[in-house]
């Protein structure tokens, strides 16, 4: 009798964990992967701490977004089998048009970086920059992603986004702002 009780308890626990795992996998219903040459990316001009950096923009279509961002650089003309580590930061677009004496109608505010002050990556795997976001700061709107792999060689960037909502990738702020205007109520 005691054996049946423990067997039932074990099977119930196993089923509950299986259901929880299935729900988490289904939480990322949208995925978007692009490959782009560094020559086709916008060189970052914002005076970022990331030298020799590039930028792109994402537009998140809903509030309470959860997503995984992965950026991997593959350097051309090299014998190395290993891709260089990719460092990135994410900044939120803030509309400042209603503020007095503003030269620009927007600013960007850093909300996340995948590295520590000593330049060690937060990522466990060391090559890819994969981080999960589960914060209230991720709301509908425009975000700028600035990244570098600290190479002067040409490279292909593979940008992957998995999320619980639709996220669009843009290579210019103007295109991202067009999307913002289209989705305004």
In tens, the pLDDT along 85-118 reads: 888 889 999 988 888 776 778 899 988 888 888 8
Q: Report residue 81's pLDDT band, with 50, 70 and 90 as the boundaries.
A: low
Decide if pLDDT at 16 tops 60: no
Rounded Cα–Cα distance for residues 69 and 50 (Å): 18
Q: Is residue 111 within 8 Å of residue 92, measured between CB atoms?
A: yes
Mean pLDDT of 143-159: 90
Mean pLDDT of 153-158: 90
| Lowest mean pLDDT across 8-12, 53-57, 105-109, 140-144 | 8-12
Q: What is the pLDDT of residue 35?
A: 94
Rounded Cα–Cα distance for residues 172 and 185 (Å): 23
Between residues 185 and 92, which one has the greater pLDDT? Answer: 92
Q: What is the pLDDT of residue 132?
A: 53
Mean pLDDT of 148-163: 88
Mean pLDDT of 47-71: 84
The DSSP H or E segment spanning 11 is helix 2-27
* CATH numbers and ranges of domains, the chain: 30-183 (2.60.120.380)
Rounded Cα–Cα distance for residues 143 and 91 (Å): 5
Q: What six digits make up the tokens of 108?
A: 């960007």
Q: What is the pLDDT of residue 175?
A: 93
Mean pLDDT of 111-128: 70
What's the mean per-residue pLDDT of the chain?
77
Backbone angles phi, psi at 57, to 5 degrees: -125, 145
Q: Is residue 57 within 8 Å of residue 171, measured between CB atoms?
A: yes
- Per residue in 131-148, pLDDT (tens digit) is 555 455 678 999 999 999
Decide if pLDDT at 67 tops 90: no
**Does the pTM of the predicted model rise above 0.85?**
no
For 111, half-sphere exposure in the C-beta direction (CA atoms, 13 angstrom radius) is 19
């Amino acid at each position: 009798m005691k054996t049946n009780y423990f067997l039932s308890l074990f099977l119930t626990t196993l089923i509950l964990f299986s259901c929880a795992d299935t729900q988490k996998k289904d939480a990322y219903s949208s995925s978007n992967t692009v490959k782009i040459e560094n020559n086709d990316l916008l060189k970052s001009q914002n005076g970022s701490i990331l030298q020799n950096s590039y930028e792109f923009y994402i537009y998140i279509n809903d509030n309470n977004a959860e997503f995984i961002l992965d950026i991997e650089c593959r350097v051309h003309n090299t014998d190395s089998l290993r891709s260089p580590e990719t460092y990135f930061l994410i900044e939120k677009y803030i509309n400042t048009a209603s503020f007095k004496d503003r030269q620009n109608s927007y600013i960007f505010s850093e909300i996340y970086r995948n590295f520590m002050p000593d330049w060690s990556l937060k990522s466990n795997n060391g090559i890819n920059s994969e981080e999960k976001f589960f914060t209230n700061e991720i709301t509908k709107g425009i975000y700028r992603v600035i990244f570098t792999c600290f190479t002067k060689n040409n490279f292909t960037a593979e940008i992957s986004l998995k999320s619980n909502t639709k996220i669009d990738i843009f290579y210019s702020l103007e295109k991202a702002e067009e999307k913002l205007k289209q989705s305004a109520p």
